């Protein structure tokens, strides 16, 4: 049979295309973790050469460390500790002011369920110590004096305190803010695909790398079941979104059969009782973080009402009796089994 020229050219083109495809660098993905901000921070980044990803991830961790120094109550020289030590208030760093501004907004919108001034209460419960204890009533009442959404005010970078002994605690929002900043740094380094997780405060950037099996390459996130260790409650698929969970299983102790955890109802000073866990999907991790804590405190009914003020955010609530409630748009992210 005589060779057909168009067929040969066609075959050559296919061969060249295959060779080119084989020569493309593999879609790299690196995974690193560090103990920071009182939790394990994990960063996964992909889509570039490993050496570039390493530089980007190092810079993202450095950014989180920098913010931890500003925002942590454990560091006596931090911006937040200095603010707490100050009598009437002081000027804070731009980043601290940004966190406080968002925190105050959610404090207002949640009617005070979210509160940046629970520092004395948190110390009293001692969740950061080896043996936390249930405080007595008088001590609890004393720790709540002067707190509330109007207790702090912000003008530019100037924070004013209503009472001199107010202790500021950004524990309900700072990790989220730090994850947002880490994502910004990764993007600045040209990373287009990444996942950052700081103990349940996550952001999923871009598409999952080529290796992911799902054709649309969403990130698939298994949400922790609040009562079954290592079991998935539900799986969601997202990209370019924050997924943040607040749960009563994260930090708790039991006394006489009662679970005491670290998310407080500012009205009573006791752990909030309406929920086991709350997951928020939002545009920013800082907002998701504050909302998850606020909805947890409010419970399902008032919590879902609060969420109507944030139409771009969706939520999943597991109530104290194990019932699931979701905001109307939640199904958009649900992976049906």
> What minimum distance in Å lies between the beta carbon of 47 and ligand AMP?
30
Q: Which stretch binds ligand AMP (CB under 6 A): 17-25, 61-69, 157-165, 263-271?
A: 263-271
Residues 6 or more apart whose CB falls under 8 angstroms from that of 279 comprise 223, 236, 243, 244, 245, 292, 315, 316
CA distance 256 to 250: 19
User: Binders of ligand AMP among 109-138, rule CB under 6 A?
Assistant: 114-115, 118, 122
> What minimum distance in Å lies between the beta carbon of 71 and Mg ion?
13
Among 60, 196, 205, 263, binds ligand AMP (CB under 6 A): 263
Burial class (CB in 10 A: 0-12, 13-18, 19+), 83: buried
User: Binders of Mg ion among 160-219, rule CB under 5 A?
Assistant: 172
Residue closer to ligand AMP (CB basis): 28 or 289: 289
x/- mask, ligand AMP, residues 68-107, rule CB under 6 A, reads: ----------------------------------------
CA distance 240 to 246: 20
Closest residue to Mg ion, judged by C-beta, is: 293
User: Binders of ligand AMP among 295-324, rule CB under 6 A?
Assistant: 297
Among 289, 291, 300, 303, binds ligand AMP (CB under 6 A): 289
H helices of the chain, where?
5-23, 50-71, 79-85, 94-109, 119-125, 137-144, 174-188, 285-298, 300-307
CA distance 274 to 265: 10
Choose among Mg ion, ligand AMP, none what residue 122 binds, the Cβ cut-off being 5 to 8 Å by kind: ligand AMP
Q: Which strand (E) or helix (H) includes residue 91?
A: strand 89-91
Choose among Mg ion, ligand AMP, none what residue 118 binds, the Cβ cut-off being 5 to 8 Å by kind: ligand AMP
Q: Which strand (E) or helix (H) includes residue 201?
A: strand 201-205
Strands 241-247 vs 252-255: parallel, antiparallel or unpaired: unpaired
CA distance 78 to 222: 35
How many residues appear in the chain?
Answer: 337
Q: Which stretch binds Mg ion (CB under 5 A): 98-106, 192-200, 275-283, 289-297?
A: 289-297
Per the CB < 8 A criterion, the answer to whether 316 and 247 are in contact is no
Residue closer to Mg ion (CB basis): 46 or 176: 176
Cα-trace Rg, the chain: 23
Choose among ligand AMP, Mg ion, none what residue 314 binds, the Cβ cut-off being 5 to 8 Å by kind: none
Residue 292 three-state SS = helix
> What minimum distance in Å lies between the beta carbon of 116 and ligand AMP?
6
CA distance 183 to 181: 5
If phi over 0 gives left and psi between -120 and 50 gives alpha, with beta otherwise, what is residue 111? left
Q: Does 266 bind ligand AMP (CB under 6 A)?
A: yes
Residue closer to ligand AMP (CB basis): 208 or 262: 262
- Token pair of 284 as six digits: 């920013």
Residue closer to ligand AMP (CB basis): 120 or 122: 122
User: Binders of ligand AMP among 175-234, rule CB under 6 A?
Assistant: none
> What minimum distance in Å lies between the beta carbon of 305 and ligand AMP?
17
Q: Say how many residues touch ligand AMP, by CB under 6 A.
A: 17
> What minimum distance in Å lies between the beta carbon of 191 and ligand AMP?
25
Residues contributing to the site for ligand AMP (CB under 6 A): 114-115, 118, 122, 169, 171-172, 246, 250, 262-264, 266, 289, 292-293, 297
Residues contributing to the site for Mg ion (CB under 5 A): 172, 289, 292-293
């Amino acid at each position: 049979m005589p060779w057909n020229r168009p067929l040969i050219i066609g075959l050559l083109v296919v061969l060249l295309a295959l060779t080119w495809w084989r020569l493309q660098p593999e879609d790299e993905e690196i995974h690193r973790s560090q103990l920071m901000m009182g939790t394990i921070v994990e960063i996964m980044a992909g889509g570039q050469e490993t050496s570039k990803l390493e530089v980007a991830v190092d810079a993202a961790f450095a950014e989180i460390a920098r913010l931890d120094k500003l925002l942590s109550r454990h560091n006596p020289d931090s911006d937040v500790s200095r603010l707490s030590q100050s009598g009437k208030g002081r000027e804070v760093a731009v980043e601290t002011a940004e966190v406080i501004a968002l925190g105050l907004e959610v404090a207002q919108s949640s009617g005070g369920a979210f509160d940046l001034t629970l520092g004395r209460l948190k110390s009293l419960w001692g969740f950061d110590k080896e043996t936390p204890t249930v405080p007595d009533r008088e001590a609890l009442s004393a720790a709540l004096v002067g707190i509330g959404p109007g207790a702090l005010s912000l003008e530019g970078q100037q924070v004013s305190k209503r009472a001199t002994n107010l202790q500021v605690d950004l524990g309900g929002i700072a990790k989220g803010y730090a994850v947002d900043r880490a994502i910004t740094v990764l993007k600045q380094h040209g990373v287009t695909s990444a996942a950052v997780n700081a103990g349940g405060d996550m952001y999923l950037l871009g598409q999952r790398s080529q290796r992911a099996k799902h054709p649309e390459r969403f990130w698939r996130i298994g949400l922790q079941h609040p009562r079954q260790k290592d079991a998935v409650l539900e799986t969601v698929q997202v990209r370019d979104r924050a997924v943040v969970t607040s749960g009563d299983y994260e930090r708790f102790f039991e006394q006489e059969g009662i679970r005491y955890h670290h998310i407080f109802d500012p009205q009573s000073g006791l752990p909030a009782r309406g929920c086991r866990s709350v997951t928020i999907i939002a545009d920013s991790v800082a907002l998701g973080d504050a909302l998850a804590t606020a909805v947890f405190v409010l419970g399902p009914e008032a919590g879902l009402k609060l969420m109507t003020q944030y139409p771009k955010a969706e939520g999943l609530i597991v109530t104290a009796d194990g019932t699931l409630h979701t905001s109307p748009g939640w199904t958009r992210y649900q992976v049906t089994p």
